[in-house]
Amino acid sequence: MQANYKILEHPSDLGIEARGASLAAAFQNAAQGLMSIILDLSTVESSEMRELAVNSSDLDQLLVNWLSEILYLYDGQRFICRDFIIQKLTPTGLKAKVRGEIFSENKHRTKLDVKAVTYHQLFVQENKNGGIVRVYLDI
């Protein structure tokens, strides 16, 4: 499967640019980009499903809060999200189903620790061709 995101350079950290047929799809692809920086996702199975609701006051904040929640699930609950389905997205929030599994040191190949999602040069846009987002991560 071809990745729908690319990694952006930063002097000390990394960013993600993700596109999709809709803004929701771009948000999903950004989340996949985030998790693929942390782990080799080919070692992860989609055996468990969780539902998420994220609130915000605008689309920029929504992107940051969405990715921060995915990161929290990994770092706080040790749940690796691998597949993402955003069911509803508005500037004030989103609802999503995510699939993945609980982290296992023996099973999963880790890559890099991501500390947080930043507002630095954050970009969220939706037009007739779909959605595009850019976001930088603190490593």
Partner 1 sequence: MFKKFDNYRYLIPKSYKQGMRIDGLVYADDELIKQIEKDQTKDQVANVATLPGLVGRSLAMPDAHQGYGFCIGGVAAADADEGIVSAGGVGFDINCGVRLLSSPFEIKDVKPKLEQMLNQLFRDIPCGTGRKGLLDVTKTELDNVLRDGAQWAVKNDYGREEDIFHIEDYGKISNADPALVSSHAKDRGHHQLGTLGSGNHFLEIQVVTDVYDDEVAVRFNLYKDQIVILIHSGSRGLGHQVCTDYLDIMQGGMRKYNISVVDRQLACVPIKSSEGQNYLKAMAASANFAFANRQMITHWTREVFQRMLGSGDLKIVYDVCHNIAKYEDHEVDGFRKRVLVHRKGATRAFPKDHPALPEELRGVGQPVLIPGSMGTCSYVLVGTDRAMKETFGSSCHGAGRAKSRTQAKKETSADQLLKEMKSKGIFVRGETRSGLTEEKPDAYKDVSRVVEVVHGAGIARKVARLVPLAVMKG
CB closer to partner 1, 26 vs 62: 62
Structural contact between residues 7 and 18, judged by C-beta atoms closer than 8 angstroms: no
70 token code pair: 């995915």
Q: How far is the CB of 2 from partner 1 (least distance, A)?
A: 19
Q: Shortest distance, CB of residue 86 to partner 1, whole angstroms? A: 20
What's the count of helices (H) and strands (E) in the chain, helices before strands? Answer: 2, 8
- Our CB check for partner 1 shows the closer of 83 and 122 to be 122
- In the bound state with partner 1, the residue whose beta carbon lies nearer, of 3 and 21, is 3
Give contact residues for partner 1 (rule: CB under 8 A): 7, 9-14, 38-39, 57, 60-61, 64-65, 68, 72, 75-78, 103, 105, 108, 110-120, 122, 136, 138-139
Minimum separation from the CB atom of position 76 to partner 1 (A): 3
Residue 133's DSSP bridge partners are 18, 124
| Residue closer to partner 1 (CB basis): 15 or 25 | 15
Nearest approach in angstroms of CB 77 to partner 1 is 6
Read off the amino acid at residue 104. Answer: S
CB 25 within 8 A of CB 85: no
Torsion of CA 86, 89, 94, 95, to 10 degrees: -40
